[in-house]
Chain A
Amino acid sequence: MKRKLVFVHMILIAAWLLAACGGGGAQATATSPAVPTSPPPAVEDTPTEAATEPMEETAAPTGTAVEAEETPTGAAATEPAAGGVVMTPVPTASEAFTLGLVLSTLNNPFFVTLRDGAQAAADEAGVELVIVDAQDDSARMTSGIEDLINSQVDALLINPTDADAVVPSIQQANDAGIPVFTVDRGSNGGTVVSHIASDNVAGGRMAAEFLCEAIGGEGNVVELQGIAGTSAARDRGQGFNEYMSENCPNAEIVAQQTANFNRDEGLTVFENILQAQPEIAGVFAHNDEMILGAIQAAEAAGRTEIVFVGFDAVDDAVEAVNDGTLAATVAQQPELMGRLAVATSVSHLNGDTVEENIPVDLSLVTRE
């Protein structure tokens, strides 16, 4: 009897370990990238979104403002991004097209800025832009898209509330022969002409370029990685490592450890790395949460020589940049994203071929 019980327990433990690993992982995938996102809704519509979406939209009210102003100061390091907003040409429309722009929410500064960028581009191109705010409600988004299909817009620019829920609507637009473009968040089905979203690989390179220069091109560098297997962690890491190995040969990446996009893990993992590495020149983390945890660890240990670079430009990080504890953080450019969405759809309607993936450059938030 006892023996049987022990056996049952071992199975239970095994099952629990598995479930906890799987569940914990999925949960973390969903929530951590959602931290910087528009607060309550983003955390709800999680797993599909985190899995499919290359990038979470950063709800940094002050951040976006700071970033827009600060971009020029970081210009030396980031000409393409800095010039991007103004320089990207919008083609003039060959006819008086009407575009439908469906946004997941306008209750988030990120998307308000995106809308403004799209509107400005539409005015330049000479097309009409009809804007629908789905208020983070998939049903509202479905009916909004239906209305736009019925009023026979020439193209649909959709920023889905949910990568799965939007599929039937996109198929409906496909049936009606209306070209569809997705913005920031992708769709898990239907035919989409182009997907316009931030370029995480370029963001990783941008962080590497800044870090390399800040540490004078040499010294020990640490990379705090996001959840293994997520696209954000993969792309940001790829860009960072490519740049470091190509252009920063005298810096050595001495530790690459995952802290799962979490601030508390950023703290403990970096505490351990501090124990292992007596000399660290710089740290790059795949998101701001981890870098903010690492900064706490370094402060507690009195290691003030380290240069920290984060990613996302969340409020806390922008504040840390202003305080001088964080050297830089990579920010998305919603205005440029909106602009590129309109430019791409107008090009397509003009009869030009457009790329399937339109990467949107990022910018660097630094102190003066």
Chain B
Amino acid sequence: MSIQTIPLKVDRRIISQRFGLLLSFLLLALVLSLLSDRFLRVSNLVNILRQASINGIVSVGMTLVILSGGIDLSVGSVLALSSVIGASLMKQGTPVGLAVGAALLMGVFLGTVNGLIITRGRIPPFIATLGMLTVARGLTLMYTQGQPVTNLPAEFRIIGAGAVGPVPMPIVVAALTFLAAYVVLTRTRYGEYLYLVGDNLKAAYLAGVPTGLVTVSVYSISGFCAALAGLVLIARLNSAQPVIGIGYEFNAIAAVVVGGTSFSGGEGTLTGTLLGVLLIETLNNGLNLLNVSGLWEQVVKGVVIALALILYQLLNRPSR
């Protein structure tokens, strides 16, 4: 298993998977456009992209973590802690740039702590980040005393409520995040190392990959992405709540896994994740457009996601 053969092997499988997923996505879009005449309107499609951007940003970090063979359950809490800190700083009169920087640094710091607990403490990622999920949420509640931080400065709100031409800002931020991560994953040695670490940690180590550094860094990146998503979200809401982001780890993991990234690491792509994010958000949008009862919503969501997974599993089979 040399370095050159791995990308080849991965690509063939991933392409067929991605095609299956694209097909599921298009099918869903087709069904929704038949059921609701408002689905295909430009304003609704922009709306879906804007809503998908938050989970999209979180999912970029999650993709890297899962590619490395880990998992990050703490993203929702990290998002909350970094964004309430950023919001409070702004309310206290700290310049917006500085407050944003502090929030992002907080995300990186919490992610790095996750990574160090996993590599140095030899604690499984599931447990380490589960601990961070609780601790960061608790700190958020303590820090805010359970109260929301509302009415943020107008120049900060641009990143959530502003737009570049006709494109809402959250979409721009998410697109840039995806692009940056895509370049890192496919065009740099770091990306290559990441796939190796996820595929076979021991082999990667023996081949001279700085496995500890790579592992810690993916959690730092995941923390950064969570904090960035949090900033966009609170700018959109004009308020940072202590309970913000609960359950976001579920949305991100679902998007990554639906996007074809393997839980055992080393296999998967960001384009898959992008499709996964869009599939889930389109589904949410469709359920609201069609006014599906809240009692049925979760069932419908689960069934559609399962069908999408089955479809691309079927398409994937002949290529093995």
Task: Please give the residue numbers on chain A whose beta carbons come within 8 Å of chain B beta carbons, in ascending order.
Answer: 5, 9, 12-13, 16-17, 20-21, 24, 27-28, 31-32, 34-35, 37-40, 42-43, 225, 228, 254-258, 262-264, 267-269, 271-273, 275-276, 289, 292-293, 296, 300, 315-316, 319
Contact = CB atoms under 8 A, between A and B. Distances in A.
A280 to B, nearest CB: 13
Interface string B284-302: 1101110101110110001
15 contacts: A5-B264, A9-B262, A16-B253, A20-B250, A24-B246, A24-B250, A39-B147, A228-B294, A256-B291, A264-B237, A264-B245, A272-B285, A272-B288, A275-B43, A275-B289
Interface of B: 36, 38, 41, 43-44, 47, 50-51, 141-142, 144-148, 150, 161, 233, 236-239, 241-247, 249-250, 253-254, 257, 262-264, 284-285, 287-289, 291, 293-295, 297-298, 302
Contact of A24 (B38, B247, B294): B247
Contacts of B264: 5, 9
Contact of B291 (A37, A228, A254): A254
Contacts of B237: 263-264, 267, 293, 296
Contact of A27 (B38, B47, B246, B262): B246
| Interface residues of B, dominant DSSP | helix
A28 to B, nearest CB: 6
Contact of B246 (A28, A42, A225, A300): A28
B146 A269 contact: no
A241 to B, nearest CB: 13
B236 A263 contact: no
A101 B147 CA distance: 28
A157 to B, nearest CB: 26
B71 to A, nearest CB: 9
| Interface residues of A, dominant DSSP | helix
A13 B253 CA distance: 9
B247 A271 contact: no
Nearest to A59: B146
B138 to A, nearest CB: 9
Contacts of A316: 148, 150, 239
A295 to B, nearest CB: 9
Nearest to A24: B247
Nearest to A267: B237
A262 B241 CA distance: 9
Contacts of A255: 288, 291
A40 B144 CA distance: 9
B296 to A, nearest CB: 9
Contacts of B239: 263, 292, 316
A40 B141 contact: yes
A296 B36 CA distance: 25
A276 B141 contact: no
Contact of A276 (B36, B144, B243): B36
B253 A268 contact: no
A356 B123 CA distance: 52
A239 to B, nearest CB: 17
Contact of B293 (A21, A28, A256, A275): A256
B294 A28 contact: no
Given A35-B146, A40-B142, A256-B294, A275 B38 contact: yes
The 9 A-B residue pairs with the shortest CB-CB distance in the complex, in nearest-first order? A39-B146, A258-B294, A272-B288, A20-B250, A24-B247, A275-B44, A276-B289, A39-B145, A228-B294
Contact of B243 (A32, A256, A296): A32
B146 A273 contact: no
B161 A27 contact: no
Residue among B50, B146, B285, B293 with the most chain A CB within 10 A? Answer: B146
A263 B302 contact: no
A272 B289 contact: yes
Contact of B47 (A20, A28, A272, A315): A272
Residue among B38, B148, B244, B247 with the most chain A CB within 10 A? Answer: B247
Contacts of A31: 243, 246
Contacts of A315: 147
Contacts of A37: 146
B200 to A, nearest CB: 13
Nearest to A259: B294
